[in-house]
Structure 1
Amino acid sequence: MKKVHLEMNEKQYQTLVETVFLGTWMVNSTKLELDEDFEEIRELVLAKYKDAGLEDKVSYQEAFDIHDLQKDYEKQLFENYVDEYEEFSFWDMLIEKLSEKRLKQEYGELSTPLSNEMMERRLQIEEELGKELEARGITNLELK
């Protein structure tokens, strides 16, 4: 198998570390068993941390024979990227699911793909719901 070699400066390497950490976290966060392909790449990337002077951000866990991010650095990445992503995704998915529910109430079973009329109505509903949720948050939502 042909090998690929990358040359990058320390800042680019740090961005790669962050990208690999966040990607691996996303892939594995919902699984009971880790995706070994992603874990292998994560380990390969993190193992070069000393070459880039990232001893304050990455460490070697001898007991488990793996490299890992320092807890403060990991926390910082979650605060900078994951929290914002989850907040955005929550509202986006909520609007999507609520608009789908309303479409089904109006049209019955939905065709795949949606007709032009249904797509226009869905966008209209999503805009209405977005404005409502932006103005009032979830205070008007009810479970029946």
Structure 2
Amino acid sequence: MNDLNVRTEIKQSEINGLFQEVEQLKKDRSRMKETIDKKTEKIISHILKNGNVLAYKDDFPHVLTVKNVEVKKFDKSSLATDLDMTAKELNLIGVAELVESNRITSEKLKEYEFYENDQRLKASKAKKRDMELIMGGSRI
């Protein structure tokens, strides 16, 4: 019986360690995403002020440009307020259940959709012509 307790405690300790690692990785991922977003914003800002730039990715030149995109969004907080629910309850399953129970129709859900303009960083392999334009003419 004592041997079973020891094995259970070892397993419990191992699971606790794995759980702690997972939680730390989630925090690290969140911090890395914030850093990536800040640096990307800085690059986008520079390109908007100064024009396209040349950058290297895996030793190959790439042209960095800013692309304007229209992004479809969903106003979950307004829907939650209108239905007297929390926004957290309105996950994919929650919305599906509302449609199934006829609390809301799919047509009515479309009223909560809206479009927003966004700017995205685009990197494409540079051609010789791109490099000449960015670098100010051909160099010998």
Query: Same fold by TM-score, threshold 0.5 exceeded?
Result: no
Bigger strand fraction: 2
Greater C-alpha radius of gyration: 2
Bigger helix fraction: 1
Larger relative contact order (C-alpha < 8 A, sep ≥ 6)?
2
TM-score by structure 2 length?
0.30
